[in-house]
A and B are shown apart, each in its own frame.
Chain A
């Protein structure tokens, strides 16, 4: 595409299929403790 460069093809709705195992880290256990940072956690299944 000449006008658009797409950075990612993994779409959120695709994660419904594999999602929900719950093995991933709880967000406040990583570093924050004062904010909510779900979006920067990693999926346990993609490790």
Chain B
């Protein structure tokens, strides 16, 4: 399967099954389009046939010199022989292995506080309460969660624990105590905990910052961008905006981590479809690791992204990609999470076929110790999988998640981005599409656009470095 597209003056040919990216000239782009029109599953043999050469001459002979067409066809044939173009999809048989393998739990999202000191309008946790009551996780429950993780992680050494909420800083002493417990246990069991925390920054102070820097592999700090954008969606419960209080703290935190191992993360909504301005604002504030993600919400939510918003969103991603190239070339580059793509050292096929891991390798734990497939399912009793006392009591839920992949999802089968999103977010599919085996179309459209932009940026930067 081949996906070809033009962006920012580059003609890009992505060979989906090998992951190879080719930047081609106009002539070659046209030749590949003709070849695909004739047969999407060309082989080195078929490309050498008289019929193919005849077709190329007939369709493009008036536009381009014959000699040039011949050269291009030879190049295409050479890449096909090398397994870098027209590569067939031979991965489906591996799905059986991926589904059958015994998965271990390697990551927990600990809902350390179902309470929040902000009242963000789009919060899927309903201002921290997740359709339930306000609650803080006790040290005892957290300890049992870490014990469960160690006991169920098999030979996996690196274990991930994200302190999430609500707002985890509202239960900070328990966070500190659990980190201490984890450090003690990791020595005993030959494990390594990678702790992370996601915070709105309201309670951030020097002491907390020092602890984060000492113990946390990554910290996600939440801000939506420009002051008016942030304060509209992320107010305190009294309606006052949060920007002025948190921005200086976030700048200090990012600098104290040498601008590494953190993400400043925002959400864009229908109210700021010009979100490239918010990314620029992050850059202007000096941040180097950033993410701005589309809100997910019900169509009836006034801030939710609608299909009719997509053209403008695509334009914004294009603008942003060009801005990133410009900044990179000036030596002022930064990472935009959704455009990060590692063409040489990205995830292996096994990872790409197994998806996000929710419900199998990754579980969310509520303040009272219940397990859910991920943070976005918390509060939906249909997905309650067990608890820290009894372990997994409904393994059939894990099985259902394990069996969702890009070959079982009808919408993924012919999508060029399937090995980049790995089937997409299960929670989005369940909540906003037809179920776990479906896909959230608006999210897919945006993901495809982001993959195209990410690859184009690689092409542009490769050219600059020449």
Q: C-beta contact mask, A1-16 vs B, less than 8 Å → 1, else 0?
A: 1111111111111011
Which A residues touch B227, using CB under 8 A? none
B351 partner, pick from A1, A32, A38, beta carbons under 8 A:
A38
Cα distance A26–B156 in the bound complex, in angstroms: 13
Most chain A beta-carbon neighbours within 10 Å: one of B156, B356, B375, B422: B356
Q: C-beta contact mask, B377-417 vs A, less than 8 Å → 1, else 0?
A: 00000000000000000000000000000000000000001
A19 close to B346 (CB less than 8 A): no
B124 close to A34 (CB less than 8 A): yes
Cα distance A9–B15 in the bound complex, in angstroms: 12
Q: Is the interface of A mostly helix, strand, loop or mixed?
A: loop
Cα distance A4–B220 in the bound complex, in angstroms: 40
Q: How far is the CB of A33 from chain B (nearest CB, A)?
A: 7
Q: How far is the CB of B294 from chain A (nearest CB, A)?
A: 7
Cα distance A44–B20 in the bound complex, in angstroms: 21
A5 close to B342 (CB less than 8 A): no
Which A residues touch B75, using CB under 8 A? 1-4
Q: How many residues of chain A have a CB within 8 Å of chain B?
A: 42
Cα distance A31–B290 in the bound complex, in angstroms: 9
Q: How far is the CB of A4 from chain B (nearest CB, A)?
A: 5
Which B residues touch A27, using CB under 8 A? 356-357
Q: C-beta contact mask, B309-344 vs A, less than 8 Å → 1, else 0?
A: 000000000000000000000000000011011111
Which A residues touch B104, using CB under 8 A? 22
Answer whether residue B52 sits at the interface, using C-beta atoms and an 8 A cutoff. no
A36 and B423 in contact, given A6-B21, A16-B348, A26-B356 (Cβ under 8 angstroms): yes
Which B residues touch A8, using CB under 8 A? 19-21, 343-344
Answer whether residue B355 sits at the interface, using C-beta atoms and an 8 A cutoff. yes
A37 partner, pick from B21, B68, B337, beta carbons under 8 A:
B337
A40 close to B22 (CB less than 8 A): no
A42 and B87 in contact, given A11-B18, A20-B350 (Cβ under 8 angstroms): no
Cα distance A24–B349 in the bound complex, in angstroms: 13
Most chain A beta-carbon neighbours within 10 Å: one of B21, B68, B347: B347
Q: C-beta contact mask, B340-376 vs A, less than 8 Å → 1, else 0?
A: 1111111111111001111001100000000000111
Answer whether residue B293 sits at the interface, using C-beta atoms and an 8 A cutoff. yes
Answer whether residue B198 sits at the interface, using C-beta atoms and an 8 A cutoff. yes
Which A residues touch B344, using CB under 8 A? 8-10, 46
A19 and B348 in contact, given A11-B19, A11-B20, A26-B362 (Cβ under 8 angstroms): yes
A31 and B421 in contact, given A26-B106, A43-B347 (Cβ under 8 angstroms): no
A25 close to B160 (CB less than 8 A): yes
User: Which of chain B's residues 94-125 have a Cβ closer than 8 Å to chain A?
Assistant: 94, 101, 104, 106-107, 109, 124
Given A34-B295, A35-B338, A36-B425, list of 12 further CB < 8 A pairs?
A: A3-B24, A7-B22, A11-B19, A19-B350, A29-B109, A30-B337, A31-B218, A32-B337, A36-B355, A36-B423, A42-B346, A46-B344
